[in-house]
A and B are shown apart, each in its own frame.
Chain A
Amino acid sequence: MLTHLTGNLDIWMLGFRNTVSLTVLSFIIAFVVAIPMGVARSHTGTLLSKIIYGYIYVVRGTPLLVQIFLIYYGFGQFHSELKDVGLWWFFREGYYCGLLALTLNSIAYQAEIVRGAVMAIPHSLEEAGASVSLSRMKIYRFIHIPIATARMMPALGNEFVLLLKASSLVSVISVEDVLGQARYLFSETLDLSVFYVAAINYLIIVLVAEAVMRRLEARNTWLAFK
C-alpha cells in the first residue's frame, strides 16, 4: 500500500489538488449565488420564489451523475456552436464541466439552507430594528445576515462534506481527481489497496474542513446562550 503512495506521489498530489480545488471553488461560488437566491426564495408567494423553487426541485430531484453527463456529453453535442461563441475551451474540459455541475448542484442545496435560516428569524427582531430607525436594507445587513449566517454554519459544514464526496463522481468524465487517479492506478496495478489510499485522501480533507468549521462556529459565542 505504501509503495502505491510513495511511488506515485505526483499522481496522488494532482488528484488531491483537483479534488480540493473542485470542492472549494464550487462551494464558494455556490454560496455567493445561494445567498440572494435563498433570500428571494424566503419571500414565498412571489414569482421569483416559485422560479427558484422550480430550479431547486429539478436539481435536487435528479442524480448528480445525470447532471454531470448532461453537461459534459450534452454540451459536447454542440461543440461547433460552442466553438463559434468561444466557449468550447470550457465545455471541452471535464474539469470545468465537473466544476459547473457541482456548483449548480450545490447552489440548490445551499439556497435552501439560506432560506431556512432567514425564515427562522422572528419578525419581532425586524420590528425592533425598525423601531431604532433602521432602513429595510440595514435590517437585512445588520440583523438577518449575521444571525442567519451563524445559524446555518452547521448545515453548511454538512453540505461541504457531502459536496466533497459527491465530487468523486467527476472521475467518470475523465477528471484527474482523487478517485480518478485511484481508478487509473488500479487499472495499472489491479491492486485494490489504491482505494484505501483514496479514502484516506478524503478523510484528510474532511478533517481540515471540520477544524475550519469548528473555528468559524466558535466565533458565534452568542449562540450558546439561546
Chain B
Amino acid sequence: MEYPHKKENSDQIIVSVSSLNKWFGDLHVLKDIDLEVVKGERIVIAGPSGSGKSTLIRCINFLEKFQQGEIIVNGVTLTDDHKIIEEVRREVGMVFQGFNLFPHLTILENCTLGQVQGLKLDKEKAKQKAMHFLEKVNIPEQANKYPGQLSGGQQQRVAIARSLCMNPDVMLFDEPTSALDPEMVKEVLDIMVDLAKEGMTMLCVTHEMGFAKEVADRVIFMDKGQIVEQNEPVEFFNNPQHERTKLFLKQIL
C-alpha cells in the first residue's frame, strides 16, 4: 500500500526525551536516551526483550520514574508533581499489552470514566464520544457488555477506544498485539493502521514488522537500554547498519 512517509505539516516537536537514564536497583535499563518525536510522526520501537523499549515509552507518561534526564511532552516538562503528571497523561494515551480494561465497568463505562472523572466532561457528551470511538473500532454493539464477555481482540480495540476518548495528542502502544491469539492480531492492527493514516502521533513497541513497513515514519532499534539504530523503514529493513540489528532482523523476519 502506498502511503507518504513524511508528514507535510509543521516540525512541531511533541515529545522530547533527552539524556534519559533509568535504573531498576542496580540494573541500568535506559542509557542516555535521546528522542524527538514530531507531531504526526509514527514511530515503531523494536528490540529484544529486556532492551528497555517498554520502559522507555512508560517513562513518557510517567508510569515509570526515571533518575536522570528530561522529558518534555507538548511543552510540559515532566516532574513528579502529580498535577503535572495528570496534565501530561491527559495528552498521552496508552494501550497496554494486557488490555487492562476495568472489569467491573461496562465497555461504555470503561470509555467514559476517564472523560467524566479525568477531563470533567459532561456525562452525556462523554457517552456520545465513547459511542463515536466504539464505532470507529467496530464494536458499538458491545457497549453494554463487560470486558470479560469479549474476546482479546475486541478488548484491545475497546482499550484503544478508551484512550482515544481522552483526545490524546500522542498514543503509546506497549506491545498491543503480543497477548492476542494470532487470528485476532489483524483486527487490532487494522485499527492502528487507520489511526496512523489519520495523522495520529504514535509510538508503538511492537514486533509486527509488517505494521512497521506499512505505516512507520521511523523504526528505532533498541538493545541493552540504548538506541542502537534508527532509520526510515525501507532503509532499516533493507540496509541495517549495526551488527546487532542485522542479527535481530535475521531472527524475526
A: residues with CB less than 8 A from B are: 124-125, 127-136, 138, 142-143, 146-147, 150, 220-222, 224-226
Contacts and interface: CB of A to CB of B under 8 A. Distances in A.
25 contacts: A124-B96, A125-B100, A125-B102, A125-B103, A127-B100, A128-B100, A129-B113, A131-B63, A131-B93, A131-B96, A132-B89, A132-B165, A132-B166, A133-B90, A133-B166, A134-B118, A135-B86, A136-B82, A142-B102, A142-B113, A147-B104, A221-B146, A224-B148, A225-B148, A225-B149
Interface of B: 61, 63, 82, 86, 89-90, 92-94, 96, 98, 100-105, 113-114, 117-119, 146-149, 162-163, 165-166
Contact of A134 (B94, B100, B114, B146): B114
A133 B104 contact: no
Given A127-B96, A132-B166, 10 more contacts: A131-B63, A131-B93, A132-B162, A133-B86, A133-B114, A133-B119, A134-B117, A142-B117, A150-B104, A221-B146
A133 B113 CA distance: 10
A134 B102 CA distance: 13
Contacts of B89: 130-133
Contacts of A125: 100, 102-103
A128 B148 contact: no
B98 A124 contact: yes
A136 B184 CA distance: 33
B104 A146 contact: yes
Contacts of A127: 63, 94, 96, 100
Contacts of A225: 103, 146-149
Given A146-B104, A147-B104, A226-B148, A132 B82 contact: no
Contacts of B119: 133
A135 B114 CA distance: 10
A136 B86 CA distance: 10
Contacts of B113: 129, 132, 134, 142
A138 B82 CA distance: 13
A39 to B, nearest CB: 17
Given A225-B146, A225-B149, A128 B90 contact: no
Given A133-B89, A133-B166, A134-B113, A128 B101 contact: yes
Given A146-B104, A225-B146, A132 B163 contact: yes
Nearest to B94: A131
A223 to B, nearest CB: 8
Contacts of B96: 124, 127-128, 131
